[in-house]
Amino acid sequence: MTPDSVLDIGQRALEVTAMLAGVVLLPSLLIGLVVAMFQAATQINEMTLTFIPKLVVAALVLVIAGPWMLHLLMDFAEELITSIPDLIG
């Protein structure tokens, strides 16, 4: 196992992690921004108002994109496991 192969595995793991996290975080960020703009326009200063829409959007995204996320994670794990013989020797 060379340092290059370790770096490649680490880079691929970070890419998969960023894709999985980004799918959930970006829509939540956008909804938070929309709700914050609504609060600023109406001068409603309720801290819990942003929590529920973000939670609902995150749950919907997980329901909709969950199979794709699971498939991506399983592909990465399968690729990693099948490459073990090549990495060892």
Count, residues in the chain: 89
Tens-binned pLDDT, residue by residue, of the chain (89 aa): 788 988 999 999 999 999 999 999 999 999 999 999 999 899 888 888 889 999 999 999 999 999 999 999 999 999 999 998 888 87
Q: Are 33 and 79 in contact (CB under 8 A)?
A: no
Q: Indicate the pTM of the whole model.
A: 0.80
Enumerate the H helices of the chain as residue ranges.
3-42, 51-82, 84-88
User: CA 89 to CA 62: how far, in whole Å?
Assistant: 39
Sketch the domain layout of the chain as residue ranges: 3-88
